[in-house]
Structure 1
């Protein structure tokens, strides 16, 4: 399927690669396997997402946030899932979710920009690479499985590489007021071709504001959009979804719950929208670093180190469990006296999940995705 220039403008689809591409086309895929990488920009608090409620030091360390997971699903004797992750809990019970705790990239400082660069590039230090781990993964896949797209204004670092990829983002037209949008909606109402494209553009513009917006419904719409781009026989097979708003320096309790509700609805909409191919889909959710163990004076948490990575999919080999070499939260066990200590490499965890999903040699996957490790 090839979209015309008019369709691209109206639907808000932007195609990008190392050089400009005049058309947007998908080849028929030879496999049902899908991969979705959801990045949490802003450093998500893994200690709230998957709370170590069984750790003796947890309640005292978290103080005002200690009961944040009250009512959440008990994952095992140590960990409790945040109650906003309702779909996540049901997937965990069905052995379609795996949570990896106390993980971190090779980065050990606390700059969002530098941390995200290491997370996406897969290097050992910031700005070491100009390509990304997902982009390098594409070269390991058969040509029919390399169709990749990012729901983002531009190609994120994680997807950059030798294989051209696309982006799906709102038009860069100036912001229009509600009256103009309503008039244009009415104008396109009777046009069978333009009406769905216009509606798609409006919805995509709304999604980019915040995954937790509309009480989490933005996440659901984002998940529906992602599924619609991946389900067709000529659709994308690899996707990256950008989400922001995870930097919870203040008023974390309410803000994080809304963010997680949006993420949960995104994953739920992906599962529903992909239907039978959910069994061949892997969703990886990761953030650049975690947050401090102690709560700050404004009811939030500051930049930390280790966090939680989440894996969802109908074919997980290790679903229904939390994996962690748990370091403990007592002060002597903390990283630099303040953070959750990283005990496992996020890069190794991701490479292992990718190798299992695509049935590839683990050593080769690790070398390709993370050559500087």
Structure 2
């Protein structure tokens, strides 16, 4: 039986931790590292994205949906199969520029999208107990010029809220305002110390986006290319958050998942292409508020669950390409509440360890700064 196994990558530890550097930390030094957080809003089904095809209970639990992963990249000692729609992600895995953490979850244990997203983004133990987000708190730990942050979103997401200014950009289908209107608004804000700086930042971001070459990309691929080129600019953002919606699939999941993953794959591919040489200094973390039920429901979908999947990618990864999972098994007796994949790895521990290694920060100290309401939480070590 393969009810419970521990899977480790070739390096024997989570790739981004590089065995968590054991050095003396004198404080953050200026670097050219980039970090991108992509949130999958709607509770993405990690069991469909990276299927545990080596678990004897998988086929019985997933039925006809199990066949939809055939042909995907096989990982984790041939125990896991990546969905075939993730072609570029699969290539990154083969190039040892991707890693996957399965059966992971934040501190949240209920099944509300809004509450779950708040806990994942704020880093709190309970919903709405934190006023800032873990990305916002990360910015305070980085040196000047390294803390430049942007969200590809209509407003600053919860994860990025904090004392550091964060720019936002959301492509609009509306016509651009005339130069005359823009000049008038600039004059209106000129004497307001706070609004003037915000307005100047917004205009600079808009002008930068207008001058980038998206090379015919559309939809998710265009967003990825836009983000990549912004991050690649010498004076551009170094920290970015992107949002991916539409992961709540209570019915007809198989065809919807194939299209959704194709779009995510296109976003990540164009992000990497847009970054160019800067991809070698980039870490990308993809996570969702929680996972889905192990068994499919009567409408060929899945319902809100608990344990899910985190994906880590980037040219900054070293020795990646495998799966980290203390696998709990899919037998009915092994499931949380008789229905969910039981989480065995804290998402917060993975985030903290990965960022500490990426930015050469003290892991224990960074964990305490990112997750102040979860004292004693240790950075993940495989």
| TM-score bracket relative to the smaller structure | 0.7 to 0.9
Is residue 2:73 matched to residue 1:69? Answer: no
> Equivalents in 2 of 1:170, 1:313: separation in Å?
25
> Equivalents in 2 of 1:167, 1:72: separation in Å?
35
Cα deviations by residue, 1:50-106 (Å, 9 ceiling, x for unpaired):
100000000000012111101111113210000000001110011100000000000
Cα deviations by residue, 1:324-362 (Å, 9 ceiling, x for unpaired):
000000000000000000011000011111111111111
Change (3 A) 1:199 1:343: closer
Indicate the residue corresponding to 1:126 in structure 2: 127
4+ residue runs over 2 A deviation: 197-201
Which aligned pairs between 1:39-78 and structure 2 lie closer than 5 A?
39-76=39-76, 77-78=78-79
Cα deviations by residue, 1:300-328 (Å, 9 ceiling, x for unpaired):
00000010000001121351110000000
| Aligned-partner SS, 1:324 | strand
Following TM superposition, by how much is the alpha carbon of 1:170 offset from its aligned partner in structure 2, in angstroms? 3.7
- Quick check: 2:209–2:230 contact (8 Å CA) kept in 1? no
> Equivalents in 1 of 2:304, 2:357: separation in Å?
32
| Aligned-partner SS, 2:342 | coil
| Aligned-partner SS, 1:146 | coil
> Equivalents in 2 of 1:303, 1:163: separation in Å?
34
| Aligned-partner SS, 2:145 | helix
> Equivalents in 2 of 1:279, 1:170: separation in Å?
27
Cα root mean square deviation, aligned = 2.3
* Structure 2 unmatched ranges of 5 or more: 1-28, 179-205, 375-382
Indicate the residue corresponding to 2:38 in structure 1: 38
- Quick check: 1:217–1:265 contact (8 Å CA) kept in 2? no
TM-score (norm 2): 0.79
Indicate the residue corresponding to 1:117 in structure 2: 118
> Equivalents in 1 of 2:79, 2:370: separation in Å?
32
| Aligned-partner SS, 1:271 | helix
- Quick check: 1:98–1:320 contact (8 Å CA) kept in 2? yes
- Quick check: 1:307–1:340 contact (8 Å CA) kept in 2? yes
Cα deviations by residue, 1:168-198 (Å, 9 ceiling, x for unpaired):
0145xxx76xxxx7xx9xxxxxxxxxxxx79
> Equivalents in 1 of 2:71, 2:209: separation in Å?
36
Cα deviations by residue, 1:183-218 (Å, 9 ceiling, x for unpaired):
x9xxxxxxxxxxxx79967x9xxxxxxxxxxxx952
Which aligned pairs between 1:94-173 and structure 2 lie closer than 5 A?
94-171=95-172
TM-score (norm 1): 0.80
> Equivalents in 1 of 2:171, 2:131: separation in Å?
25
Following TM superposition, by how much is the alpha carbon of 1:220 offset from its aligned partner in structure 2, in angstroms? 1.0
- Quick check: 2:122–2:132 contact (8 Å CA) kept in 1? yes
Indicate the residue corresponding to 2:226 in structure 1: 225
* Structure 1 unmatched ranges of 5 or more: 1-28, 185-196, 204-215
> Equivalents in 2 of 1:103, 1:199: separation in Å?
37
| Aligned-partner SS, 1:102 | strand
Cα deviations by residue, 1:266-307 (Å, 9 ceiling, x for unpaired):
111111111111111000000000000000111100000010
> Equivalents in 2 of 1:219, 1:258: separation in Å?
11
- Quick check: 1:64–1:295 contact (8 Å CA) kept in 2? no
Indicate the residue corresponding to 1:206 in structure 2: none
Indicate the residue corresponding to 1:211 in structure 2: none
Residue correspondences, number: 314
